[in-house]
Amino acid sequence: MTKSQNNTPIAVGIDDGYAYTKIALPDGRLCAIPSRACIGQSSVTWINQAVQRVFEYETGDTTYSVGMVDGAPTRFEGYPVSGLNRVIVQHALQDIGLSGQTIHAVSGLPVNAFYRNNGELRREAIQKKQDSLKQSVHVRSEALPVGISFHEVIPEALAAWYDYVIVEQGGDAILDTDRMSVPVAIIDIGGRTTDYVVVKDQGIIHGSSGSLQCGMLDVKQKVADGIQERFDLETISEQRVAHALETNSVRLHGKDFDVGRLVDHAKKEVVERLLVETRRQLGMGIELDSILFVGGGTVALVEHISDWFPHQVIAEHPAFANARGMLKYLRYVCEGSMAA
């Protein structure tokens, strides 16, 4: 378990996406859990607590089950400020061992939920998100809840830019002035959205930034539809589809079936949409110094996106770039000073 020194709140980066909730801690630990929960208590009694796989939480008078459940879809407008989001974040914090601790956190919103097209801040939405995660969550077990006493919200893909320009070296943080002074684009391929952010002279170029509602959850939906059609199924569980996407095979009636072609086809369809939007936003990126790919979709689609730009870079552990950047923003921009 992580202990805070002198009861000082622990700094935590929380990238609470529609597909996965990613956590970054100052000791370098990273953790991701599927953003998967459902309303109501689970109907399973766990005989051995050590293998418990469904956990119950209460917030705003509603009980939720998190873990190995068939999750309620997170793809709805209000997800970032919902009770569903709150219990999933609480579960991720419990999972990484922060039970009973107070934390300071930075989380994110998709670029178009954070800014209007003209670059104005969507203050109300940002405030709502800030307040939402600070609302209390009750853990329906002996574990103590994790309390969030400070919470700041930044645009998701911009977090990856902070991760790129703030470099940690031997306990110190240094601003990489070379990286900071050149125009850079970030492409964050996520579950529900793909975010674009262009940063130049430390400012966001709003004309080339925004979110496309397309990501790996679209691939998942296409795979689900394809499996249902091919095997003439009325329904298929979300967990089974997630497994099919990871392994290219689906187990039905006790037998494994290869669905690799179906998965590949679904990925290609989404990649085509992403490429069109990428060219629309960034062209060939001639005036950009580099294009940084982040997000879990970057991992899942890596072989399909490898030749989009001659000067593209894939972030280290791309799925965690935003969470790491949120943590760096919290530690070095909100709370501290940094050597330039």
Ligand X SMILES: Nc1ncnc2c1ncn2[C@@H]1O[C@H](COP(=O)(O)OP(=O)(O)OP(=O)(O)O)[C@@H](O)[C@H]1O
Residue 295 interacts with ligand X (CB under 6 A)?
Answer: yes
Rounded to a whole number of angstroms, the minimum distance from the CB of residue 246 to ligand X is 7
Which is nearer to Mg ion, 17 or 285 (by Cβ)? 17
**Cα–Cα distance measured from residue 64 to residue 191, given in angstroms and rounded to the nearest whole number:** 22
215 binds ligand X (CB under 6 A): yes
Counting contacts by CB under 5 A, is residue 285 touching Mg ion? no
Contact 206, 121 (CB under 8 A): no
Query: CA-CA distance, 302 to 318, in Å (whole number)?
Result: 10
Q: Do residues 71 and 238 touch, judged by C-beta distance below 8 A?
A: yes
Nearer to Mg ion, 67 or 297 (CB): 297
Is 322 in contact with 306 (CB distance < 8 Å)?
Answer: no
Interface with Mg ion, residue 297, by CB under 5 A: no
Element (H, E) at 7: none
Residues touching Mg ion: how many (CB under 5 A)? Answer: 2
Q: Which residue has the tokens 């006493």?
A: 149
Angle at which helix 216-230 crosses helix 260-282, to 10 degrees, equals 150
State yes or no: residue 299 binds ligand X (CB under 6 A). yes
18 binds, among ligand X, Mg ion, none (CB under 5 to 8 A by kind): ligand X
Site residues for ligand X, 22-41, by CB under 6 A, read 35
- Give the contact letters, 236-275, x = binds to ligand X (CB under 6 A), - = no: ---------x------------------------------
Nearer to ligand X, 11 or 300 (CB): 300
Q: Does 17 bind Mg ion (CB under 5 A)?
A: yes
Q: Nearer Cβ to Mg ion, position 145 or 215?
A: 215
Residue 226 contact, options Mg ion, ligand X, none, Cβ 5-8 Å cut-off depending on partner type: none
Q: How far is the CB of 188 from Mg ion (least distance, A)?
A: 6
| Exposure string for 75-107, b = 16+ CB within 10 A, e = fewer | beeebbbbbbbbbbbbbbbbbbebbebebbbbb
CA 294 to each of CA 78, 261, 302: distance values in angstroms, whole numbers, following the listed order: 24, 25, 10
Task: Using the rule CB under 5 A, give the single segment among 157-165, 169-177, 190-198, 270-278 that binds Mg ion.
Answer: 190-198
CB-wise, 17 or 83, nearer to ligand X? 17
